Amino acid sequence: MVDEALLSLTVIAAVFTAVVVSGALAVYSFTRIKHPLSESYAVLMAVDSLWAAGYFCMLIAGGTLLADVGLFIKALFSALAAFAWLRFVSEYTGDSEWLPSWLWWVGVAESIVWSILVVSNPGNLMLEGVEVGEFGVVTAAVETAGLGAAIQLLIGAVLVGLSLFLLGRFFVQTQGIYRYQALIIFAIGAIVLISTTLFITDYRPHPLVDPTPILFNLQAVGVGWALYRYDFLRVAPVIVTRFFREMDDPVLLINGDRVVADYNTAADALVDDLRTQVPIDAVDDQSFGETLTAAVTDGGTATEFTADTDSRRRTYDIEVTGVTDQFDITQGYVVVLRDITDRKQRERQLEEQNERLEEFADVVSHDLRNPLSTAEGWVAAVTDALDGEEPDIDTAQMGLDHITNSHDRMEELIEVLLTMARQGQTVADPEPVSLEACATEAWATAETGEMELRVDTDRTVPADPVRLRQAFENLFRNANDHSEASTVTVISTAEGFAIEDDGTGIDPDDREDLFEFGYTTDEEGTGIGLAVVERIVEAHGWRIAVGESDDGGACFEITGVAT
């Protein structure tokens, strides 16, 4: 047999704990936690605490006025508990908009009426009576339900049953952590409903004990733990099971504290030393960390990130999407890096085409106008020289020579225009080209003077052989015309190849503008050759830069060349 004194002390302690724990959670949730469920959870805990407080008074002061007050409090808040539970569950599952706002106030009014009827108990319809007896170390009072209590039980069962339906539907429609939360809340609600039903129908563990207030300890701690501690703020489990592991695009998951929660294989391959549990502004790849921080801070504003991959330099568009829970609270971010390299290349090509149109207009309006005007002037001079009675043959011949030179210059400029227009076109079908063979062929047709060619590579690159040869010709001609070089060397590099000479080199101040159309450091130069070279290089998807060779001359390095 269980010692009744010990049992009574245990029950008293458990009920008192329920009063304190539920009350403390109500205050804490309402004042300290900013969450859509905080208010409804606080109301539920407050109702539970007061229900348990009423029963505590009946438990320790049976047969006194305090017990009568406790009966009123218990009746009031036990009736209100079902409404508070439904309100909480409907907000948790996102169904609160389907419940009329006045339902809660109907519940408050109904609970007040019920508590008054319980205390007055007309015709013993609400209660068959209140039993007072010795329970261990205390004199306890406990009510026995009447016919009216069955009606109240039915109302509560309908409300709790509706809430269990909402939880069940929510369980089916969701996955991951929300399923576990819903399952815990569902189980606790069902246990409390069963306990209340058994008590009202006189199935009790002890004649003077109501187990339901004791179970409020389980309800308070269990529901609170499920909401605030059971992975509620972790975003990774919600998404990992869906799609991002299989995505070809690099994807990162950032939690609400802006810490890397997870990332897929593509992201790991793109970003150096990427690790979880690291704030995004402390990612080892400083450039990526700064770009990512800016993208998340701007609330999803698209930001571009450029990185060197194994094959080429690639550009990514960073798309940031907030991950919200069922309360529309942002719990983290999904960061997707879309490869827009091809799109950016098309944009650059369009810009280059527009630039070529502008260049064409410049040449037509300026360079062609000069020889044309000159020719027109000499045509007039020749006409005058031949119109007289004694034609001035020498002047006419000189004029014809100038007209011929002007036409030759216009033909040269037209060829330049055609060349500039063609060299911006993308190489669509490259073929394997030997650098040694291509450079040797270009050397045979370029103006190279007394220079010598040395090819220190047997590398083969995917290219258009005709256009690559033209690039070599222009680079060789540039070395002959501007560098006073004696030897030009073609070598392989880690990312492509280079053409270097042992001449005087290029002034660092001139390097930035060297590839601009029309830019030249020679009064007799056209400023076209190196601009053509850059266009050919970029048409292959490569890059060109100018530096200094080991011999102090110029070094033109082409990078981004596929193997």
State residue 239's pLDDT score: 44
Beta bridge partners of residue 545, listed in sequence order: 557
* Residue range 465-521, pLDDT digits in tens: 888 988 898 899 888 887 788 999 999 999 999 999 998 888 888 887 788 766 666
Instruction: Read off the tokens for 474.
Output: 């222009």
Please say if the pLDDT value at position 111 is more than 90: yes
Residues 6+ apart with CB under 8 A from 539: 423, 424, 425, 426, 427, 464, 467
* Residue range 449-471, pLDDT digits in tens: 889 999 999 999 999 888 898 88
Burial environment of residue 30 by CB neighbours within 10 A (0 to 12, 13 to 18, 19 or more): middle
State residue 420's pLDDT score: 57
State residue 456's pLDDT score: 94
* Residue range 281-321, pLDDT digits in tens: 777 666 777 777 777 776 555 577 777 776 677 888 888 88
pLDDT, average across residues 133-142: 89
Instruction: Read off the tokens for 425.
Output: 């076109």
pLDDT band at 339 (very low <50, low <70, confident <90, very high): confident
Structural domains in the chain, sorted by start: 4-228 (1.20.1070), 236-339 (3.30.450.20), 345-423 (1.10.287), 431-559 (3.30.565.10)
Beta bridge partners of residue 432, listed in sequence order: 462
State residue 374's pLDDT score: 74
Q: Which residue has the higher pLDDT, 424 or 194?
A: 194
Instruction: Read off the tokens for 245.
Output: 């592991």
pTM tops 0.85, yes or no: no
Best-predicted range by mean pLDDT (86-95, 202-211, 305-314, 492-501): 492-501
